[in-house]
Structure 1
């Protein structure tokens, strides 16, 4: 037998059965209760404890729970992440309290500390550089490329006209299809070509809009090829492989930065600002040239970015994929942030691709997403791009500041202390004593275990 832990006081035993007994037909057609009971009967021996665990995370508001149940398929319960806030962000002379949904200790504390540091030095500046998004129709064509080029020029106006019903609303608001290109990729894969389209989707992330346009492109392109007189029979038989947006959006770009005179960096933990600035810049340069460091460096940036993306109901997996691809755009994975120390000025900035939405999807459905949007002053997509980029920059500044001064573990482990205490089921009285003890002692798992042992003896 194996043990499935929720915390040290709640556990149930996992049944080990043969593979065939764990399969089921028609699972999606079962009711929520029936799905849960099948899981309990199949995998758990202490069924009552497992059922209680699942049900304890249900929302007591039945209407709200039904809303959550319908977000995805085969829902059995809710999986909670803490929603916290990082106050005191000054972005383009506007004050923000930024919502962050994340489970990792010290992330919000670090962001808040960076926000306060730069609040006294002019705050963050951010600008959206471009907002183009990409979608592609991938197809196979066996024939002369010059004929395909001629056909594309012939059919291009119809690609726009056949999507008019789809783009009508978006165009009315100032968005829509920006351009469609024919791209020859046959050097990489025989007979492989693309329709490469750019879009402006305004305050919507735009995935459904883009994919709908692409599927219409594919249908029009294939049907019109059958009628094109310049093709022979083989050339007419264009094969559509797939039509899908890209989460790589190097032209949907935002820049955020902080800067001040080097002497203005001076603070309680930065007694020598010139030495700090140079060491900080060296740390950034190392992340620019060393992939092993760059991955961890950028992971810290994503602590801030993902937390805000998740809190605002956006697709953090898409954001992650696009950003990491952008970090490798020069052929080597590198830092997303950069630093200069020149002419007495310290400057630290980030340029990052962010395809975000403030309308559609969960932004209109999830109550806490709505709550977060109100907290952020009902941002447009461009506003949200700036806020998210700033969160990433603040997180990276805080991490590098710690790494180049006191070290990362001191602050992180103090924030992690409460998690360790909860693992040992410390009482409130024990927590008070141990928190006071570790104000002046190094926090490690073994050190906490030893102190708890002493207390309980």
Structure 2
């Protein structure tokens, strides 16, 4: 019987591994071997990775790939992508090649502002609270100057602080809604530090506000925290070309292809069941670049999906239309990203990824990431309205299946060649592999 452990975080890494393997795995010796197998031979580099999080046992590797030939605003990029899913990098690369000869991708920044709130309970007269807020607003800004001075020198800082009445949703609930400009930093620590100081100033000043009753002077701060909902930190990416140049697929005439693409997007606009999968494909591209550049893909995912539901129902993030013979395909995304701070100075592969991207600013990285999402969606829709998604996806997944089956290099070569002309379902690959193994 397994019993709770005390002081796990204080154990050495070797003892942590021994404990987890002994208590939670069927073959402790093999489990320990696997965990140690993924340690980096460079002890200093391994120590760096160990200290990214708590209770580190080993490293979990994901492939770091490159999607080349992205022409973005007339500048050529090779985009690093970190992802485990077959066909994502290939699909992005295929889209990049397709649009390279059609003018490439065009992008623009819509906004770069981020938000945070001080959430508090106030039991009293809202008009008096408004009067109080007006009287302390300058004090709120003044008290965070030690935190904001360096950001202000670089051109960022606090954009605004507003008092929001949220009592229609929750009794006695109000907030200080704060807007920030964090430039090339993702800004989480900066924003949270400002918010916590706002909370201190708010509660302290309330104690002395003459118009408040005794009860009203007790402003109860519940929490102070940034928001990952960033509808004012958004970017647009698009591609467009004359319909007649959409002529690379022999199965459809250019206009028929364009109309099917527009209809596919319209379906994802209208049907949430389709929209979720449609947008998941976009995030294949987005998350892969976000991971490669050391940014917070969980925050990005949360923000993007909230944005997809901004009009009251979950819908497609991409748009498409045909106007005066021009096919246009575009996306708008909320992306709070950073190119300084966090892992950008610590993780060697993150530093290299940003170097490969020609050391972008945060707004430039927003544009690159949006392009990756748009490219991924174009590739997926192109497959769906022509050959179907499985033909390309399963052929990319073929190596994974063959590796699971333990195929030799010569067997892989034979079967990869065979499935160039056959549908590579899992069962078909297993049958072909068994047939090859049992061949006299």
TM-score clears 0.5 = yes
Deviation of 1:267 after TM superposition, in Å, equals 1.4
Deviation of 1:53 after TM superposition, in Å, equals 0.3
Distance in 1 (alpha carbons) for counterparts of 2:395 and 2:3: 43
1:372-451 to 2 correspondences below 5 Å:
372-451=353-432
Question: Are positions 1:283 and 2:264 aligned together?
Answer: yes
Q: Name the residue aligned to 2:347.
A: 366
Question: Are positions 1:253 and 2:234 aligned together?
Answer: yes
Q: Name the residue aligned to 2:186.
A: 205
Alignment counterpart, residue 82 of structure 2, candidates 91, 101, 124: 101
Distance in 1 (alpha carbons) for counterparts of 2:146 and 2:250: 60
1:216-231 to 2 correspondences below 5 Å:
216-231=197-212
Q: Name the residue aligned to 1:129.
A: 110
Distance in 1 (alpha carbons) for counterparts of 2:199 and 2:244: 59
Q: Name the residue aligned to 1:307.
A: 288
Deviations 1:315-355 (A, max 9, x none): 00000000000000000000000011111000000001000
Q: Name the residue aligned to 1:12.
A: none
Q: Which runs of 5+ in 2 are unaligned?
A: none
Alignment counterpart, residue 306 of structure 2, candidates 325, 347, 356: 325
Q: Please say if residues 298 and 336 of structure 1, whose CA atoms lie closer than 8 Å, have aligned partners that are also in contact.
A: yes
Deviation of 1:37 after TM superposition, in Å, equals 1.1
Question: Are positions 1:262 and 2:243 aligned together?
Answer: yes
Distance in 2 (alpha carbons) for counterparts of 1:364 and 1:153: 41
Deviation of 1:45 after TM superposition, in Å, equals 4.2
Q: Name the residue aligned to 1:3.
A: none
Q: Please say if residues 247 and 254 of structure 2, whose CA atoms lie closer than 8 Å, have aligned partners that are also in contact.
A: yes
Query: Normalising by structure 2, what TM-score?
Result: 0.99
Structure 1 residue matching 2:16: 3-state secondary structure: helix
Deviation of 1:59 after TM superposition, in Å, equals 0.5
Question: Are positions 1:185 and 2:166 aligned together?
Answer: yes
Q: Name the residue aligned to 1:66.
A: 47
Q: Please say if residues 252 and 386 of structure 2, whose CA atoms lie closer than 8 Å, have aligned partners that are also in contact.
A: no
Alignment counterpart, residue 115 of structure 1, candidates 84, 96, 103: 96
Structure 2 residue matching 1:310: 3-state secondary structure: helix
Distance in 1 (alpha carbons) for counterparts of 2:406 and 2:377: 33
Alignment counterpart, residue 217 of structure 2, candidates 208, 215, 236: 236
Deviation of 1:46 after TM superposition, in Å, equals 2.2
Q: Please say if residues 126 and 386 of structure 1, whose CA atoms lie closer than 8 Å, have aligned partners that are also in contact.
A: yes
Distance in 2 (alpha carbons) for counterparts of 1:46 and 1:132: 51
Structure 1 residue matching 2:111: 3-state secondary structure: strand
Deviation of 1:271 after TM superposition, in Å, equals 4.7
Q: Please say if residues 269 and 405 of structure 1, whose CA atoms lie closer than 8 Å, have aligned partners that are also in contact.
A: no
Distance in 1 (alpha carbons) for counterparts of 2:25 and 2:340: 41
Deviation of 1:270 after TM superposition, in Å, equals 5.9
Question: Are positions 1:40 and 2:25 aligned together?
Answer: no
Q: Name the residue aligned to 1:347.
A: 328
Query: Normalising by structure 1, what TM-score?
Result: 0.95
Deviation of 1:443 after TM superposition, in Å, equals 0.3
Deviation of 1:22 after TM superposition, in Å, equals 3.7
Q: Name the residue aligned to 2:434.
A: 453
Structure 2 residue matching 1:193: 3-state secondary structure: strand
Question: Are positions 1:296 and 2:296 aligned together?
Answer: no
Q: Please say if residues 235 and 332 of structure 2, whose CA atoms lie closer than 8 Å, have aligned partners that are also in contact.
A: yes
- Counterparts in 2 of 1:29 and 1:456: CA distance versus 1, 3 Å: same
Q: Please say if residues 114 and 179 of structure 2, whose CA atoms lie closer than 8 Å, have aligned partners that are also in contact.
A: yes
Distance in 2 (alpha carbons) for counterparts of 1:332 and 1:268: 34
Distance in 1 (alpha carbons) for counterparts of 2:259 and 2:26: 60
Q: Please say if residues 175 and 202 of structure 1, whose CA atoms lie closer than 8 Å, have aligned partners that are also in contact.
A: yes
Deviation of 1:259 after TM superposition, in Å, equals 0.3
- Counterparts in 2 of 1:269 and 1:300: CA distance versus 1, 3 Å: farther
1:169-184 to 2 correspondences below 5 Å:
169-184=150-165
Question: Which of structure 1's runs of 4+ aligned residues deviate more than 6 A?
Answer: none
Distance in 2 (alpha carbons) for counterparts of 1:321 and 1:310: 15
Structure 2 residue matching 1:189: 3-state secondary structure: coil
